[in-house]
């Protein structure tokens, strides 16, 4: 890569510059004010401004993604006696105790927001996260609960939201009892996500690590029926509802109450419990989201049996009336599976790669189709076809095309169009939409000490409910300590904290005590170093550092992209079966990165909004005003400093800073 940022021909066919500071035609001042301030630039000196990178701002769990990527790449060093992998695990699990799970199944909104996309391709954040999570399980890394506070919290629901909250509350030292009406913990991660996408040994390992912190678990217990909620409220200092959305929504069309019309939630739960071993010859799934894609992918793997007893029809198994004989499934054949969506295929909500995998596995996918009626067999009352009509979006609105009705023959129709909560015994919580109302602190209005989080307040991604569990735990902690609910920051994630980092490496600033007759400017006295007489001074101030991470996100136009050469992304390999191979294929599809691949991929991170020690500012400063912080006093975020007696405000350090960490602030020479 040359200094100008030109590059040789890339595989993608893209040539030219990765960065241009000025566009063609930029030769006139935009305003007199702009000209004045530019001419007066010698009154500005560098300041070090920490901002949130877009990956982290896009992460519903709020992980310090830049932080653990910098640990994996070797920029932020692990403490003595701690491996890189363990230190990265400690950083990622500050927000998310499920890195192995989320590295596999999260659709990665962080990668969509990654600034590396403006160079060539996103950083493979998910792949590196899976590497960290799998390593942690292999090495049996554990969590430690905080000092006991004597406060007790009941969590109703043992899915990712409830487990995330339990983890965060135990870190704070609060006792936690977790109630779930299933025989195992995991919620939708256990009963909704197929094992070939999320191997159970990894999921169970991450769940066990949380319960090992001292979480009391009460399985097979439904609050509201087995135990009245009022009894729970009387026994505990706070209650968190994390009951999820277990009730699937049926198709809102005539005939949808046929016995072989079932919900996607019920279908996947029956499969994940091992009860459902085969489907039907012709399966039509209505949806467009991740649940619907999981249903069709499972259906293709299960196949069907030609001579099926009446009691072994899939709907009877799914509804829990009977179970399949595993030994008979050897004779199964590939099912004809179709997924239809109201949205065009390219606008479906499911992850793009999951849609592509399903198509490769033999699933037929059609978009812009609206179900209008389930056609019934007059003798049996079972559904025999689904009538649909084509949709037209050319006007900007959904319009049915006259004369385009068609009947899709089906032996099993699965509705995956949404879910709702089960509020049996929980009177007063259903807001009329199958959800629970909660404020921004996840408090249930009108019910002091009762909180809610997860899909039951806002259906979304697994990573979203993990983040909600963290915020809910923080709110519960404040409630238990009789503290006011603090205003949530604009960028509400787990931020890198320089003061905490300084404490970790024994560089905590000293207590400030004002001098009666100061010989130096107070800010100079605050910096570690020596005065002109060689006397040691300072230590109470962090050198010209400003933390804007809770309010601002670092955008790509703040970076010096010319610093970054084109570097091909290191992708995980997948074992993706074809349509001919998919029957009975339940092996994991994803092959994780090895040590070298994980480190090399992490090195593609541009560390947006935080110094990654490239030395550009030191090298290019014409006055030698920008210097490295002495090694004994340096740490992440405090790698360089500026000698303002030498600085002339030339802006070069800010111009060549690849991460946007250096900004020109007002100074006085």
Q: Are residues 194 and 81 in the same domain?
A: yes
Interhelix angle 200-211/160-171, rounded to 10 degrees, is: 40
Residue 21 is assigned to a structural domain of this protein: no
Average pLDDT over residues 104-122: 94
Q: Are residues 488 and 395 in the same domain?
A: no
Max Cα–Cα distance, the chain, nearest Å? 103
How far apart (Å, rounded) are the C-alpha atoms in residues 79 and 579? 49
Residue 5 is assigned to a structural domain of this protein: no
pLDDT at 75: 96
| 582 exposure class (CB count in 10 Å sphere: 0-12, 13-18, 19+) | buried
Average pLDDT over residues 89-103: 97
How far apart (Å, rounded) are the C-alpha atoms in residues 289 and 342? 11
DSSP character string of 579-604: TTT-TT--S--EE---HHHHHHHHTT
The answer to whether residues 629 and 641 touch, using CB atoms and an 8 Å cutoff, is yes
Provide φ and ψ at 173, rounded to 5°: 95, 5
Q: Are residues 370 and 451 in the same domain?
A: no
pLDDT at 62: 95
pLDDT digit string, tens, across residues 414-431: 999 989 899 999 999 999
The pTM assigned to this predicted structure is 0.89
How far apart (Å, rounded) are the C-alpha atoms in residues 565 and 604? 10
- Which CATH number covers residue 535? 3.30.70
Q: Are residues 318 and 388 in the same domain?
A: yes
pLDDT for residue 590 is more than 50: yes
How far apart (Å, rounded) are the C-alpha atoms in residues 143 and 459? 28
pLDDT digit string, tens, across residues 637-656: 999 999 888 888 888 999 99
pLDDT digit string, tens, across residues 505-548: 888 877 766 667 665 555 554 555 444 444 444 466 676 889 99
Q: Are residues 354 and 462 in the same domain?
A: no
220 backbone φψ class: left, alpha, beta (φ>0; ψ -120 to 50): left
Question: How many Cβ atoms from other residues are within 10 Å of residue 319's Cβ?
Answer: 12
How far apart (Å, rounded) are the C-alpha atoms in residues 256 and 265? 16
What secondary structure letter does DSSP report for 505? Answer: T
Average pLDDT over residues 247-276: 94
Residue 578 is assigned to a structural domain of this protein: yes
Please provide the size of the chain in residues.
669
H-helix or E-strand spanning residue 284 = strand 282-287
Helix (H, G, I), strand (E, B) or coil at 100: helix
The answer to whether residues 608 and 57 touch, using CB atoms and an 8 Å cutoff, is no
Residue 84 is assigned to a structural domain of this protein: yes
- Is the sign of the CA dihedral 459, 463, 464, 469 positive or negative? positive
Provide φ and ψ at 312, rounded to 5°: -105, 10
The answer to whether residues 263 and 292 touch, using CB atoms and an 8 Å cutoff, is no
pLDDT at 19: 60
Percent of the chain beyond pLDDT 70? 85
- Closest by CA to 462, choosing from 105, 94, 57, 100, is 105
Do strands 406-409 and 412-415 pair parallel, antiparallel, or not at all (unpaired)?
unpaired
pLDDT for residue 668 is more than 50: no
| 584 exposure class (CB count in 10 Å sphere: 0-12, 13-18, 19+) | middle
Question: How many Cβ atoms from other residues are within 10 Å of residue 578's Cβ?
Answer: 10
The answer to whether residues 233 and 450 touch, using CB atoms and an 8 Å cutoff, is yes
Query: pLDDT band for position 251 (50/70/90)?
Result: very high
Q: Are residues 284 and 363 in the same domain?
A: yes
The answer to whether residues 571 and 667 touch, using CB atoms and an 8 Å cutoff, is no
Q: How far is CA 67 from CA 54, 116, 148, 610, 643, in A?
A: 13, 16, 29, 9, 28
Q: Are residues 579 and 628 in the same domain?
A: no
Query: pLDDT band for position 49 (50/70/90)?
Result: very high
Beta bridge partners of residue 45, listed in sequence order: 665
Q: Of the given ranges (272-286, 435-449, 497-511, 618-632), which has the lowest mean pLDDT?
A: 497-511
Q: Are residues 310 and 416 in the same domain?
A: yes
Q: How far is CA 361 from CA 107, 591, 613, in A?
A: 20, 18, 46
How far apart (Å, rounded) are the C-alpha atoms in residues 90 and 119? 30
Report how far Cα 658 is from the mean position of its chain's Cα atoms: 26
CB contact set of 464 (below 8 Å; sequence gap of 6+): 60, 61, 458
- Which CATH number covers residue 328? 3.50.50.60
Q: Are residues 94 and 181 in the same domain?
A: yes
pLDDT digit string, tens, across residues 168-197: 999 999 999 999 999 999 999 999 999 999
pLDDT at 544: 83
pLDDT for residue 634 is more than 80: yes
Q: Are residues 285 and 210 in the same domain?
A: no
Q: How many domains does the chain have?
A: 3
- Closest by CA to 410, choosing from 492, 346, 338, 360, is 338
Q: Are residues 259 and 277 in the same domain?
A: yes
pLDDT digit string, tens, across residues 358-412: 999 999 999 999 999 999 999 999 999 999 999 999 998 999 999 999 999 999 9
Q: Are residues 340 and 373 in the same domain?
A: yes
Rg (C-alpha) for the chain, rounded Å, is: 29
Residue 243, CA atoms < 13 Å, CB-side half-sphere: 26
Percent of the chain beyond pLDDT 90? 74
Residue 13 is assigned to a structural domain of this protein: no
Residue 368 is assigned to a structural domain of this protein: yes
H-helix or E-strand spanning residue 537 = strand 536-537
pLDDT at 669: 40
What secondary structure letter does DSSP report for 179? Answer: E
Query: pLDDT band for position 439 (50/70/90)?
Result: very high
Q: Which domain holds residue 227?
A: 60-239+440-492+566-601
Residue 559 is assigned to a structural domain of this protein: no
321 or 98, which is more confident: 98
Average pLDDT over residues 659-664: 94
Residue 468 is assigned to a structural domain of this protein: yes
Query: pLDDT band for position 96 (50/70/90)?
Result: very high
Report how far Cα 373 is from the mean position of its chain's Cα atoms: 38
């Amino acid at each position: 890569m040359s200094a100008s940022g030109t590059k040789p021909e890339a595989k993608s066919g893209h040539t030219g510059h990765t960065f241009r500071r000025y566009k063609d035609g930029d030769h006139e001042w935009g305003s007199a004010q702009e000209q004045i301030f530019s001419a007066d630039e010698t009154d500005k000196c560098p300041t070090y401004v920490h901002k949130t990178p877009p990956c982290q701002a896009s992460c519903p769990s709020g992980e310090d993604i830049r932080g653990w990527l910098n640990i994996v790449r070797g920029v932020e060093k692990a403490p003595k006696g701690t491996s890189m992998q363990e230190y990265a695990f400690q950083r990622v699990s500050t927000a998310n105790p499920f890195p192995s799970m989320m590295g596999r199944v999260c659709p990665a909104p962080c990668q969509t927001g990654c600034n590396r996309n403006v160079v060539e391709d996103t950083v493979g954040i998910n792949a590196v996260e899976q590497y960290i999570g799998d390593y942690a399980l292999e090495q049996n890394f554990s969590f430690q609960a905080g000092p006991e506070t004597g406060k007790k919290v009941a969590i109703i629901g043992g899915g990712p939201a409830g487990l995330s909250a339990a983890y965060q509350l135990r870190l704070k030292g609060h006792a936690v009892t977790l109630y779930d009406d299933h025989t195992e913990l995991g919620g939708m991660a256990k009963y909704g996500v197929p094992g070939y996408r999320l191997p159970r040994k990894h999921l169970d390992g991450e769940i066990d690590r949380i319960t090992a912190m001292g979480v009391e678990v009460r399985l097979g217990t439904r609050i509201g029926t087995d135990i009245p909620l009022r009894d729970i409220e009387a026994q505990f200092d706070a209650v968190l509802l994390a009951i999820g959305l277990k009730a699937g929504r049926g198709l809102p069309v005539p005939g949808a109450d046929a016995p072989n019309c079932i919900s996607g939630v019920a279908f996947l739960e029956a499969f994940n419990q091992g009860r459902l071993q085969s489907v039907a010859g012709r399966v039509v799934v209505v949806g467009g989201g991740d649940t619907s894609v999981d249903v069709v992918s499972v259906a293709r793997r299960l196949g069907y049996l030609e001579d099926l007893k009446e009691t072994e029809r899939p709907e009877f198994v799914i509804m829990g009336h009977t179970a399949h004989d595993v030994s008979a499934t050897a004779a199964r054949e590939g099912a004809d599976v179709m997924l239809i969506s109201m949205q065009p295929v390219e606008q479906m909500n499911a992850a793009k790669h999951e849609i592509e995998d399903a198509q490769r596995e033999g699933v037929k996918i059609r978009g812009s189709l609206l179900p209008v009626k389930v056609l019934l067999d007059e003798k049996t009352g079972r559904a025999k076809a689904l009538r649909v009509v084509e949709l037209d979006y050319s006007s900007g609105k959904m319009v049915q095309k006259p004369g385009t009705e068609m009947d899709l023959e089906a032996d099993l129709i699965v509705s995956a169009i949404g879910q709702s909560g089960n509020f049996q015994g929980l009177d007063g919580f259903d807001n009329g939409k199958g959800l629970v109302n909660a404020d921004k602190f996840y408090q249930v209005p009108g019910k002091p000490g009762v909180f809610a989080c997860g899909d039951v307040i806002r259906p979304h991604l697994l990573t979203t409910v993990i983040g909600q569990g963290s915020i809910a735990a923080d709110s519960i902690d404040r409630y238990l300590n009789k503290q006011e609910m603090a205003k949530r920051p604009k960028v509400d994630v787990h931020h890198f904290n320089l003061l905490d980092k300084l404490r970790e490496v024994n560089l905590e600033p000293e207590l400030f005590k004002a001098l009666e007759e100061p010989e130096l400017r107070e800010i100079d006295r605050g910096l570690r170093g020596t005065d002109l007489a060689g006397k040691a001074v300072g230590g109470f101030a962090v050198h010209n550092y400003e933390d804007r991470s809770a309010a601002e996100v670092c955008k790509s136009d703040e970076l010096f992209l010319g610093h970054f050469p084109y570097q091909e992304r290191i992708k995980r390999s997948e074992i993706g079966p074809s349509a001919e191979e998919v029957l009975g294929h339940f092996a994991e599809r994803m092959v994780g990165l090895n040590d070298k691949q994980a480190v090399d991929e992490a090195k593609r991170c541009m560390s947006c909004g935080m110094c990654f020690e490239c030395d550009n500012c030191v090298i290019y400063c014409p006055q030698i005003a920008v210097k490295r912080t002495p090694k004994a006093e340096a740490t992440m975020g405090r790698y360089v400093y500026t000698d303002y007696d030498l600085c002339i405000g030339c802006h070069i350090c800010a111009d060549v800073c690849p991460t946007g960490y250096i900004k020109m602030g007002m100074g006085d020479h």
